[in-house]
Amino acid sequence: MAVARRRRRPLAAALVAGLTAVALAGCRPLYLPPVPAREPTPAVARLGDASALRLDGGRLVLHVVLAEIPRAGWLDVQWFAPNGSQAADDSVWVAPADVGQGRTLTLPPRVALSAGEWRAVTSLRGQVLRQFRLEVGAGPTPSGSP
């Protein structure tokens, strides 16, 4: 019986040593450095707060003020009718030097203005900047008032 105990001691010691090694291996960091370096935030295009969609002389007019333009590109505008279909589109070239300036885009005269909610969606290089909405009444509307 004493022989059986002697055989178990080295086996138990080896088992404890193995489990300790596995547990200690789990305490090592998985990567170096433990805290990765901070990535710079990419600059994005933005429109200013003065940007607005309005009704002027029976035509929809979108005035956008450029707040930030990191790279030059086409500022696209898609006009959507009250039924949800795209009524027209337009674009204008903008560059970083144009920041602070305004651009005015008008719904083309070939598009009949109907009553309901009209939308203008602006984008630059495929990134949507802002959506503007304006409710157009059924009757004649005085110039400048929605």
Q: Where are the domains of the chain?
A: 46-136
The pLDDT confidence band at residue 57, using thresholds 50, 70 and 90, is confident
Question: What pLDDT score does 144 carry?
Answer: 38
Per-residue pLDDT at 146: 33
Contacts 24+ apart (CB under 8 A), 91-98: 94/66, 94/69, 94/124, 95/69, 96/69, 96/70, 96/71, 96/72, 98/66, 98/69
Q: For domain 46-136, which architecture applies? A: Sandwich (2.60)
First to last CA, the chain: 101
Q: What is the pLDDT of residue 143?
A: 39
**For residue 61, is it left (φ>0), alpha (ψ between -120 and 50) or beta?**
beta
Torsion of CA 101, 106, 108, 113, to 10 degrees: 160
Structure tokens given for 19: 């489990």
Give the CA dihedral 110, 113, 118, 119, nearest 10 degrees: 10
